[in-house]
Amino acid sequence: MDSPTPASARISIIGAGPGGLTCARILQRHGIAVTVYDRDPGVASRNQGGSLDLHQEDGQRALHEAGLLAEFFALARLEGQEMRQMDPAGRLLAHHLPDEGETASPEIDRGQLRALLLRSLDAGTVQWGRTLASVSTPANGPRTLTFTDGTSVETDLVIGADGAFSRVRTAVSPAVPRYTGVGFLEAWFDDVEQAHPELSRLVGKGSAHIADGERGLFAQRNSGGHLRVYLMRSVPVDWIAANGLRPEDTEGLRAHLLGEFAAWSPRLLRMISDNDGPYVDRPLFALPVPHTWEHSPGVTLLGDAAHLMPPLGVGVNLAMLDACELALALAHSATVADAVRTYEKSMLPRSAETARLLEGGAEHLLAVPDADTFAPAPEPDPAAEPHPDPDNSRSAVGSSGT
């Protein structure tokens, strides 16, 4: 069967995270119709997570192609580029203050970025409450998307932007994410200026990283007076149950953590003892390196679905760059098949090279900081689950999925 032109094709994106929405926006700017399917019941059904830094060469480039760069800068926090490195005694080792007007990697809340992208799409582009069950894999011709509600859709191109435990990936690759051996435990702090002034002064307007070689802590400002802290340790994926604890046992987890971090400064321990609300367990997963696949008509991947890596500040930027390049390839190619080949010819080598550089990088977050460098900011996905269920999959890190 001949591949259709992009303008006449039925194009489906699975996943309304930054990657999927960026792709949809750029396609619509070029007059190409697209539908996005997402498993969330609605746009406000869950917290979208922490802060993201968008880089000039990828995330910002994608927003430029989406026609949203000016709106992004109206929301972005340039002061969020401040970074601090400290030792476990609370001594400042290194401090980066951004120059006035610096725009290399400003911060934006994940929820604000998602809302910006959603507002830019045609009404009805995103269909909520559509959990993908399977993708048919014919030798040629259209694909059939089957959803858990029993409905199905025929499509000429399905784009998997559905995160770490992607259902679309199974149509092109048998690869599954593996636990990296490093787990995050997320803690939230609200109204930090008034309720947690000492932590506010300690972290500053951006982020702070502390590590002792076995464990680490990354604190990150969000907008609206919020602070998120990621407690990072080398632990088994089931460490909570193995220690006789439960995820909802906040006091038990706190006591356990305070014991592990007992040698650290009391000032730093406030990031363990004073959090508002429960902890959230976020084990880190990654795909085998390199992750590639043979070109398959009518299906491709972007973001974490294509190249899940340790969360070292590149995930959302790579997802948005993927989305941009795929959308532009579709806009400028004679057929869908040509566009997918063009996109994968660029994306697969790039992602393989980056994945090799970051392989084992989760351990880097626990290493004693070098006073001359800064650890990349981690970007765990709010959709992470402690024990991923293949029948209820979501992203573990990086761009959010369906």
Mean pLDDT of 175-184: 95
Task: Dump pLDDT digits (tens) for 238-264.
Answer: 999 999 999 999 999 999 999 999 999
Residue 300 clears pLDDT 60, i.e. is over it? yes
* Percent of the chain with pLDDT strictly greater than 90: 83
Mean pLDDT of 54-68: 97
Least confident of 138-152, 212-226, 386-400: 386-400
Residue 113 in any domain: the answer is yes
Task: Dump pLDDT digits (tens) for 109-140.
Answer: 999 999 999 999 999 999 999 999 999 988 77
Alpha carbon of 268 to those of 212, 221, 265, 306: distances in Å? 13, 15, 5, 37
Least confident of 17-21, 134-138, 162-166: 134-138
Residue 171 in any domain: the answer is yes
* pLDDT for 212: 95
Residue 385 in any domain: the answer is no
Q: For all residues of the chain together, what is the average pLDDT?
A: 91
Residue 270 in any domain: the answer is no
* pLDDT for 396: 33
Task: Dump pLDDT digits (tens) for 354-364.
Answer: 999 988 878 88
Number of domains in the chain: 1
Residue 379 in any domain: the answer is no
Count of C-beta atoms within a 10 Å radius of residue 295: 13
d(CA 156, CA 136): 12
Residue 190 clears pLDDT 70, i.e. is over it? yes
* pLDDT for 244: 98
Residue 399 clears pLDDT 50, i.e. is over it? no
d(CA 400, CA 381): 6
Residue 264 in any domain: the answer is no
CATH at 32: 3.50.50.60
Residue 258 in any domain: the answer is no
CA-based torsion, 305, 170, 182, 131: positive or negative: positive
Distance from the first to the final alpha carbon of the chain? 30
Residue 374 clears pLDDT 50, i.e. is over it? yes
Domain that holds residue 334: 11-80+105-177+287-361
Task: Dump pLDDT digits (tens) for 314-324.
Answer: 899 999 999 99
Residue 356 in any domain: the answer is yes
CA atoms within 13 A on the CB side of 60: 14
CB 134 within 8 A of CB 374: no
Torsion from C-alpha of 64, 67, 72, 78, nearest 10 degrees: 30
Least confident of 5-19, 196-210, 372-386: 372-386
Residue 292 clears pLDDT 60, i.e. is over it? yes
Q: What is the pTM of this model?
A: 0.91
User: Largest Cα–Cα distance in the chain?
Assistant: 67
* pLDDT for 376: 63
* pLDDT for 44: 78
Least confident of 1-5, 22-26, 263-267: 1-5
Mean pLDDT of 181-204: 96
